[in-house]
Chains A and B, each alone.
Chain A
Amino acid sequence: MKYVEEFRDAEKAKILVQEIDKLVAEIDIAKERPISIMEVCGGHTHSIFRYGLEGMLPKEIELVHGPGCPVCVLPMGRVDDCVAIAERPEVIFTTFGDAMRVPGSKKSLLQAKADGADVRMVYSPMDALALAKKNPDREVVFFAIGFETTIPSTALTILQAKADGVENFSVFCNHITIVPTIKAILDSPDLQLDGFLGPGHVSMVIGTAPYEFISQHYKRPMVVAGFEPLDVLQSIWMVLKQIKEGRAEIENQYARIVSDAGNSPALTALSEVYELREFFEWRGLGSIDHSGVRIRDAYSVFDAETRFAMPNIKIADPKSCQCGEVLKGVIKPWQCKVFGSACTPEMPLGALMVSSEGACAAYYQYGGVKKREAVS
C-alpha cells in the first residue's frame, strides 16, 4: 500500500532503534531511573501495541499511555444519559462502534440494544443525519465523542442539518479538548514525565501553537507524532534528543499532515457551533476546567441535552478502579488491583479495558498478563 508501507519498513526501524540506544546511553538520568514519555493519543497507544514497539525499545524508556482515548475517559454518568435517550421509543440512537461497549452504571449501549433500544452503529455523523432524513417520524440522536479530531465533523453535520432544515436530528455532545487535560496532568503532584508524544490528528486541526505552554511553562519537550510505527519511533528519538541536549521545545514530526497553524476551515466550523464548557467530567481524572465543549445557543435545537430530559447524575468510578492512576502514568495497567481479575475486556470495570486504544485492554490483548506476572 502506497504511503503506508514506507512507514512500516523494518530495516529503517532497526537503524532508528540503534540511534535510540545510542542516545539513551548518553542521557545521564537514564542511569538512575527510566525515562518516561507519555503518548497522549490513543491512536499512538494502538500503534505501539499493534506493532510491538515497546519490546523493541531499550528498557530505559518507559512509555506512559495517556488519556487520549475518548471512549476510555467517558464517565459512567454520561453513558447512563446515552442509555436513557436511546431507550426512548421515538429515538434512533447512533454511535461509533467502539463506544457501544462502554459500561454505564447499569448497562452499556450494547446491552440497551439487546433490551430493545434502537441503537445503530455509524461511521460518520453524516450517516446519522442521512438516517434522520430517511426516518422523518423518528428522533435521530448522534452520540458525539472525541477530541478536536472529530469535533469539526459533528460541527459541519450540525451546520448541514440547519441548512437542510432537518428537525428530527440532534447531537449528544461529549466532545472534549486535549490541551486543558495535558495541563491537568502536568499539574498533578504524583507525576514524573520527561516528555510527550503530541497527538497527530488533533494537531492537524488545532496546529502546534496551543502546546507552547508545555515547553515554556513546564519545560517538557513534546513532539507531535504520526501514527505509523516509524513515525512513533522517530518521534521518541526526537524527544530523547531534546532531553539529551537540554532543550524543551514543541517539534513537529508529522509535518506531512500537521501545519503549525492548524486547519482554519475546521477551526471556523468548530467555533461557529461549539463553545467551551466551564468544566467536564473525565473518567479517572475527575472534573477538568474548560476541557469539554457544548453546542452554542444558536444551534440548541440540535442539542440532545436540551431536547431530551436525562438523568444527568454523576456516578463515581468504582472504588477498586485505578484508571486515573494508569491514565496519569502513576501505575502501569498490570499494577492495578483489578487488572485481569475483576476487570477484563469481557466484563470491563474501568473504561481503559473497553476500547482497543485503552491502555489496559491493549496490555491485556497484546501482552499484558504475562508482563504483570513478571513484575508482581
Chain B
Amino acid sequence: MNVMPMPRKRSFGHISVPKVTLAHGGGGKAMKDLIDDVFVSAFDNAALAPLEDQARFDLSDLARYGDRLAFTTDSFVVDPLFFPGGDIGKLAVCGTVNDLAVGGAQPLYLSCAAIVEEGVEVDLLRRIALSMAMTARAAGVEIVTGDTKVVQKGACDKVFLTTTGIGVIRTGIVLGADRARPGDVVLVNGVLGDHGAAILGARGDMALDSPIVSDCAPLNDLIDVLIAAAPGTRAIRDATRGGVATVLNEIAQASGAAIDIDERATPLREEVRGFCEILGLDPLYLANEGKIVVIVPPEEADGALSAMRTHPLGAAAAAIGEIRSGEPGRVTMRTVFGGNRIVDMLVGEQLPRIC
C-alpha cells in the first residue's frame, strides 16, 4: 500500500482513542467525533458540509448532464480489507461508479454507509475513508451523505460498506442487455480475472506467492470515450461477481440471442492463467472490478475498440466474440484447442477441484 496523505482540512474533533467501541455508535458526542474525524474530514465537499440529514441537489444542475436519473446501490464485504491493487474503500466507490456508468450515466453523487465491528482500529477506518475520498476524486464524484453504525464483536467482519449512487443518463443514450442483436460484436476492455485472482491470492490460504494485482478502477471516463466513439453501443455490463461468463449469459438471456466467443481472443494475464491452472479454476468466472463487456453493432466495433485502446484502462481491449441467431440464451466458446463447449452460469461459488 502507498502511504495515504493525511487530511489537510476539517480535522476538527480529532479523536485520540485507538479503537472503535460501542460508544462510537451511541449517537452522542463520541459518534459525532468519530464521523467528523474519519469520514467528514476525508470526504470534504460543499454538499456534505452542512451535515443535514440529507444531501440536497438542484434539479436544474442535474439536468445539465442529461434527461434521466440513474440510481444504484451495492454492499461491500471483502476479505481481506486491503489487497494488492486496492481496498474495500476503493472497491466501494468504483463498484457504484461503474454500476452507474455502464448504464450510460454520468456518476455524480455517492452515499457511504459503514457498519463497523467494535474493536476495529480508528486508523484502519481513516485509511479506508481516505482511499474512498481519493478514488471519488479520481472518478469525479462526491460522497455527500453517509451513516455509521457500530456493532458488537462478531456481529460483522471488521467493516462492511454500502454505497449508493446517483447519476444522470446522457440524452439519447439507451443501453440495455436486451438490445443485443445477431451480428453485434462482444468487446472487453482488457485482461480478465485479475481481481478474483488477487483476492484469492491475498487470502493466503494456498501459500502461493501471487504477484497478481486487482484491476479495481472507476470506468466512467473510459465509458465516456467509448460512447463518444460508438454512440450506437447496445449494452455495457461490468463483469464483477461471476465474471465475464455470467455477464454473457445474462446478455444472451435478456436479448434472446446466442453468444459465441473465441477462447483464443480472450485476454488473460499469464499469471492469472497459471493461477487458474494450479487451482482448477476457470478465469471466465473470476470477478473483475475494472472490466466491462460491451456489445456494439458491427459497423462501430473497430471504432469502439480503437477508442478504448487509447485509454489507459482499455489498452488491452479486445473483440472476444459475437452475437448469433442460434439457440436463445446459449453462450458457447470455441476452445483454444478447436473444440466447442457451452459456457453456462455458475451454480454457486467456484470451488477448486480436488485433483
Contacts and interface: CB of A to CB of B under 8 A. Distances in A.
Q: A and B: partners?
A: yes
Contact of B277 (A4, A70, A100): A4
A46 B340 contact: no
Given A1-B273, A101-B348, A346-B347, A52 B340 contact: yes
Contacts of A366: 341-342, 344
A254 to B, nearest CB: 14
A146 B352 contact: no
B353 A355 contact: yes
A98 interface: yes
Interface residues of A, number: 47
A51 B334 CA distance: 8
Contacts of B355: 42-43, 70, 146, 149-150, 201
A97 B351 contact: yes
A129 to B, nearest CB: 13
A165 to B, nearest CB: 23
Contacts of A145: 354
A71 B341 contact: no
B205 interface: yes
By CB atoms of chain A within 10 A, which of B273, B327, B341 has the most?
B341
A356 interface: yes
B157 to A, nearest CB: 15
Interface in A135-175: 145-146, 149-150
B336 interface: yes
A54 B274 CA distance: 25
A121 B351 contact: yes
Given A46-B353, A98-B353, A13 B337 contact: yes
Contacts, number: 96
A123 B355 CA distance: 10
Contacts of A55: 339-340
B50 interface: no
A229 B327 CA distance: 27
A150 B277 contact: no
Nearest to A68: B355
A51 B327 CA distance: 21
A70 B342 CA distance: 24
A118 to B, nearest CB: 14
Nearest to B273: A1
Interface in B54-89: none
Interface string A344-360: 01100000000111000
Interface string B318-341: 000000000100100011111111
A145 B354 CA distance: 9
A344 to B, nearest CB: 8
B336 A367 contact: no
A88 interface: no
B350 to A, nearest CB: 9
B275 to A, nearest CB: 11
Interface of B: 205-207, 270, 273-274, 277, 279, 327, 330, 334-342, 344, 347-348, 351-355
Interface of A: 1, 4, 8, 10, 13-14, 42-43, 46, 49-56, 70-71, 96-101, 110, 121-123, 127, 145-146, 149-150, 201, 229-230, 345-346, 355-357, 364-367, 370
13 contacts: A4-B277, A13-B338, A14-B338, A46-B353, A50-B335, A51-B336, A51-B339, A56-B337, A98-B352, A121-B351, A145-B354, A366-B341, A366-B344
